[in-house]
Structure 1
């Protein structure tokens, strides 16, 4: 197979659908990787770094909408939803959640392949893929597995603590404003509730052993927001 061939990850619990797509996509010169459930799909996405993901919504462990949400926390890979769910609401939810296209089952393979080509072409013209992991000194944020480790030891964080640290890590070395952090994590109605953010950042610093007076990791930009150092 061509070493420059695009890699496609198919996340679908139906073996016959995976086989059909594997044969059809391989015949077009694509490399195909398969996953039979959502968690395996997320792991493969982190491991393989595919050029496109084909995602079923009716998975046995995680709903496909949840897989999409978790994937979008750390990856901008194009996602083509392939599902029996044909309602407008389901399509809107997926597209608003970060899917790039939506095809309902049963489907025509030629149209499906055309949509794959369009998404791959658009991806080639767009921004580079995000990293699945970001390191700041001996602090590591693994977006794919939602894990944070310090000097190789995993740190237990609450959902809000992880969300704040992950957002700072995605903008490594750059200031993220208080308003952006509050709006993205707590919602638009909390954009002025800076005390929420101060409490969470305080807890984060405690768990990371970070001295606010001489921070190794999280730096306060007075009156503006916070940034995560590029190296510590």
Structure 2
């Protein structure tokens, strides 16, 4: 199995790489910083919103591998934490560019490779913000809703070629990026970081944050033959979010 993972240098993407590698897959990751990528993985430093860079990446992949079995379009940024009237257009565009346009470009260049072989699976990382929306996170929520719309369209377009597309919606995932979100929300709302953390956890029926490995395990399933007829689906890995904004 040949797998490419965008934003695979750390966090959820890195966990995906580990999980696929544990299944014997060949792993290729992209990120702005690939210095921590383990020996044995392919790695390319590229900005997922750079069309020329992404085109060159997939050309190299085709030369090296001759095809592609699984795309994990995982790259994302948190974007600003602010009321919609306080969001700068520049910040909006930067958030949408990585989260949505990055997924589009990955799918754009992966599709021809998969079509030629008549098989493949695309796993797009959305978010529970792409299901419910989130106050103070308008750019991020809009982009993640867009990822789901993109995935649904990919499933319809590519299904006749034997290609599946699904979206994973992580909830609050333990890690450095979520810590940044917690700190910004705490500052914006005059709360402590721990109070915001507790609010996120209490908004799930399992009263828990998610580990990156939980999301990675779902990606491996969706990329496998065990999910051969699973396509066009939005699957949350979030401990069951009951209230999308328990802090308000």
Higher strand share: 1
Q: Which protein is bigger by CA-based radius of gyration? A: 1
Q: TM-score, normalised by structure 1?
A: 0.30
Q: Which has the higher contact order (CA 8 A, sep 6+)?
A: 2
Q: TM-score, normalised by structure 2?
A: 0.28
Higher helix share: 2
